Amino acid sequence: MTASPLLGQLMEALRCLPGVGPKSAQRMALHLLERDRPGGTRLAQALESAIERIGRCEQCRDLTEDPVCRICSDSRRDTSLLCVVESPSDVLAIEQATGYRGLYFVLMGRLSPLDGIGPEDLGLDELDRRLKDRTPAELIIATNPTVEGEATAIYLQRMASSYGIRATRISHGVPLGGELEFTDQSTIAHAFSSRLLVE
Amino acid sequence: MTASPLLGQLMEALRCLPGVGPKSAQRMALHLLERDRPGGTRLAQALESAIERIGRCEQCRDLTEDPVCRICSDSRRDTSLLCVVESPSDVLAIEQATGYRGLYFVLMGRLSPLDGIGPEDLGLDELDRRLKDRTPAELIIATNPTVEGEATAIYLQRMASSYGIRATRISHGVPLGGELEFTDQSTIAHAFSSRLLVE
Ligand SMILES: [Zn+2]
Ligand SMILES: [Zn+2]
């Protein structure tokens, strides 16, 4: 039996977090209650504000509490480059890893006819209007190298070409610092078939 | 740059959880916002209630939202057995693993003169009054097998003996299902020196 029903509820509620099983939930709940109540209060408030106020950017569909997100509304960004990604975490990854200064369009998914996910579900009609009205010089396709991500990439490539926009695709292959021995077979096969001529 | 300051704040706030680094915090924040807002709201509320309402049990010092916790106030528990543990997680572990039906006393720490943690910090004065006023038949000492836990155990053993109470200590050794090969040396040494005669 448990000495405190509220503690039991907190441990249960923590399990909504990905990767948190019963043991970690217990450790987290006891840590907050015994050692970091101010941190727990800040977390509760951050959760409430984020869930209540964060919606989608009108222009790029990324998560934001503003009508237009901080990236889209930053006048220093290069509007001639538009990078299409599947999810908000891809935007974070590119912002953290690269010096990219263009804009984004976030699909919030990928084409998957079997799951009933078609172009409208990914805002591709919005993207179409945008390519027409505020035509970028280059459309950078950064969908993931999965079957569905590739199908989405081909769809995007055709959209770009219908407006005469240059489309590029980020490269895929053996990760830098990776070793062939520890790279999965399909990555090796892809890297092999998309090999480039060197001098 | 980040598209949403509130998302950044949520990722930062999640890092108060033990074992959560920047990558997991990001994954958790995006999971809640994209896929489980009701879960996030429940978590915020559970955190707030727990932090606001959970204090210590007047009798056993365990975490609880009641003046006296559910275990201490359960008339079906055996009041002749009192088990002393270091922390609330030890109570949970014993409740989950055993059929123990006695009561607990939670030290919320262990004796550590070097850190300035003395008997009063662990409520040992309260425990002393309890042993005098509501003398149990047996004091089960379940502090951890560390140097400080052992020192605490010896202190508890003397308290029990001063009131003529039988003191027992939970056993330590090679874990069931464990193998000597993968057991640390001090556990093996302890298991060896506390070996029991078998028929
Ligand atoms: Zn935006
Ligand atoms: Zn209690």
Return the pLDDT at A174. Answer: 81
Distance CA B125, CA B79 (A): 19
From chain B residues 59-98, the ones with a CB under 8 A of any chain A CB are: 60, 62-66, 69-72, 74, 87-89, 91-92, 95
pTM value?
0.85
Residue A154 has, within 13 A of its CA and on its CB side, a CA count of 7
For tokens 């895929």, what's the residue? A172
Residue A157 parent element (H or E) = helix A147-162
Check CB contact under 8 Å for B17 and A43.
Answer: yes
Q: At B169, which amino acid appears?
A: R
**Shortest distance, CA B28 to any CA of chain A (angstroms):** 6
Check CB contact under 8 Å for A40 and B27.
Answer: no
Distance CA B81, CA B101 (A): 8
Check CB contact under 8 Å for B47 and A41.
Answer: yes
DSSP code at position A148 = H
Please report which confidence band the pLDDT of residue A161 belongs to, taking 50, 70 and 90 as the band edges.
very high
For the cut 80, the answer to whether the pLDDT of residue B1 exceeds it is no
**Distance between Cα A7 and ligand 2 center (Å):** 14
Q: Report DSSP letters for chain B, one per residue.
A: --S-HHHHHHHHHHTTSTT--HHHHHHHHHHHHHH-HHHHHHHHHHHHHHHHH-EE-TTT--EESSSS-TTTT-TTSEEEEEEEESSHHHHHHHHHH----EEEEE-SS--BGGGTB-GGGGTHHHHHHHHHHS--SEEEE---SSHHHHHHHHHHHHHHHHTT-EEEE---SSPTT--GGGS-HHHHHHHHHT-----
Check CB contact under 8 Å for A69 and B4.
Answer: yes
Please report which confidence band the pLDDT of residue B199 belongs to, taking 50, 70 and 90 as the band edges.
low
Q: Calculate the average pLDDT of chain A.
A: 92
Check CB contact under 8 Å for A34 and B7.
Answer: no
Q: Which positions in chain A touch B57 (Cβ < 8 Å)?
A: 3
Return the pLDDT at A199. Answer: 67
Of A183 and A154, more confident: A154
Beta bridge partners of B105: B84
DSSP code at position A26 = H
Return the pLDDT at B61. Answer: 97
- pLDDT tens digit string along B60-104? 999 999 999 999 999 999 999 999 999 999 999 888 888 899 999
Q: Report DSSP letters for B112-128, one per residue.
A: BGGGTB-GGGGTHHHHH
Q: What is the CA radius of gyration of chain A?
A: 22
CB A69 within 8 Å of CB A59: yes
Residue A49 has, within 13 A of its CA and on its CB side, a CA count of 18
State whether residue B30 sits within 8 Å of chain A by CB. yes
Structure tokens at B61: 């010092």
Can you list the positions of beta strands (E) in A57-124? 63-64, 78-85, 102-106
Distance CA B153, CA B141 (A): 6
Distance CA A97, CA A101 (A): 12
**Which of B26, B34, B47 lies closest to A44 in CB terms?**
B47
Of B178 and A79, more confident: A79
Question: Which own/partner pairs from B151-160 qualify as long-range (CB within 8 Å, at least 24 positions apart)?
Answer: B151/B110, B151/B111, B152/B86, B152/B107, B152/B110, B152/B111, B152/B122, B155/B111, B155/B119, B155/B124, B156/B84, B156/B127, B159/B124, B159/B127, B159/B128, B159/B131, B160/B131
ipTM over 0.95: no
Return the pLDDT at A198. Answer: 66
**Shortest distance, CA A192 to any CA of chain B (angstroms):** 31
C-alpha A188: how far from its chain's center?
Answer: 25
Nearest chain A residue (CA) to B73: A3
Check CB contact under 8 Å for A18 and B12.
Answer: no
Return the pLDDT at A149. Answer: 92
CB A70 within 8 Å of CB B2: yes
Pairing of strands A102-106, B166-169: unpaired
**Which of B1, B37, B60 lies closest to A51 in CB terms?**
B37
Please report which confidence band the pLDDT of residue A79 belongs to, taking 50, 70 and 90 as the band edges.
very high
CB A71 within 8 Å of CB A92: no
Check CB contact under 8 Å for A47 and B54.
Answer: no
Return the pLDDT at A194. Answer: 78
Q: Which positions in chain A touch B88 (Cβ < 8 Å)?
A: 3, 7, 30, 34
State whether residue B12 sits within 8 Å of chain A by CB. yes
Structure tokens at B3: 């598209």
Distance CA B28, CA B14 (A): 8
Q: Which positions in chain A touch B34 (Cβ < 8 Å)?
A: 63, 87-88, 108
Distance CA A153, CA A135 (A): 18
Q: Which residues are in the CB-under-5-Å shell of ion ligand 2?
A: B 57, 59-60, 62, 69, 72
- Sequence ranges of the domains in chain A: 79-169
- pLDDT tens digit string along B21-67? 999 999 999 999 999 999 999 999 999 999 999 999 999 999 999 99
Please report which confidence band the pLDDT of residue B3 belongs to, taking 50, 70 and 90 as the band edges.
confident
The architecture (CATH level 2) of B79-169 comes to 3-Layer(aba) Sandwich (3.40)
Return the pLDDT at A180. Answer: 77
Distance CA B25, CA B38 (A): 18
Q: At B176, which amino acid appears?
A: L
Question: Which own/partner pairs from A171-180 qualify as long-range (CB within 8 Å, at least 24 positions apart)?
Answer: A172/A145
